[in-house]
Amino acid sequence: MLKGNDMRVWPGVPYPLGAVYDGAGTNFSLFSEIAERVELCFFDQEGSETRVDLPEVTGYCWHGYLPSVEPGQRYGYRVHGPWDPANGHRCNPAKLLLDPYAKAIDGRVDWSPAVFPYRFDEGPDSRNEEDSAPFVPKSVVHQPHFDWAGDRRLQLPWHETVIYETHVKGLTARHPDVPDELRGTYAGMAQPAVIDYLKQLEITAVELMPVHQFVHDKHLADRDLRNYWGYNSIGYFAPHHPYAAGKRPGAAVPEFKHLVKTLHQAGIEVILDVVYNHTAEGNHLGPMLCFKGIDNAYYYRLTEDRRYYMDYTGTGNSLNMSPPHVLQLIMDSLRYWVLEMHVDGFRFDLAATLARELHDVDRLSTFLDLIHQDPVISQVKLIAEPWDVGEGGYQVGNFPPVWTEWNGKYRDCVRDFWRGKDQTLGEFALRFTGSSDLYERTSRLPYASINFVTAHDGFTLNDLVSYNDKRNAANGEENRDGESHNRSWNCGAEGPTDNAQIIELRNRQKRNFLATLLLSQGVPMVLGGDEVGRTQGGNNNAYCQDNEISWYDWENVDGELLDFCRRLIRYRKDHPVFSRRGWFQGRPIHGNEANDIAWFTMDGKQMVEKDWGQGFAKTLAVFLNGKTIPNPNPRGEPTVDDTFYLLVNAHYEPLRFKLPDQTWSPRWKTVLDTAKGWESGEVEHEAADAIEIEARSLCLLHAIADG
Dihedral sign, Cα of residue 560, residue 562, residue 564, residue 570? negative
Q: Which amino acid is at 554?
A: W
Q: Kindly give the interhelix angle for 252-265 and 192-201, rounded to the nearest 10 degrees.
A: 40
CA distance 427 to 409: 9
Q: Let me know: does 414 contact 513? Beta carbons within 8 Å.
A: yes
How many Cα neighbours within 13 Å face the side chain of 52?
24
**Within a 10 A sphere around the Cβ of 514, how many other Cβ atoms?**
22
| Kind plus residue range of the DSSP H or E element containing 647 | strand 644-649
Which among 98, 486, 524, 11 has a CA at the least distance from the CA of 289? 98
Which among 59, 72, 77, 58 has a CA at the least distance from the CA of 18? 77
Secondary structure string (H, E, C) spanning 155-209: CCCHHHCCEEEECHHHHHCCCCCCCHHHCCCHHHHCCHHHHHHHHHHCCCEEEEC
CA distance 58 to 32: 11
Active site residues: 349, 385
**Strand, coil or helix: what is 5?**
helix
Alpha helices in 465-615 (DSSP H): 500-519, 559-574, 609-612
Non-local (6+) Cβ contacts of 215 within 8 A are 108, 109, 227, 232, 234, 280, 289
CA distance 648 to 661: 18
Dihedral sign, Cα of residue 173, residue 178, residue 183, residue 184? negative
CA distance 579 to 157: 11
CA distance 56 to 312: 37
Q: Let me know: does 294 contact 79? Beta carbons within 8 Å.
A: yes
Which among 276, 281, 349 has a CA at the least distance from the CA of 109? 281
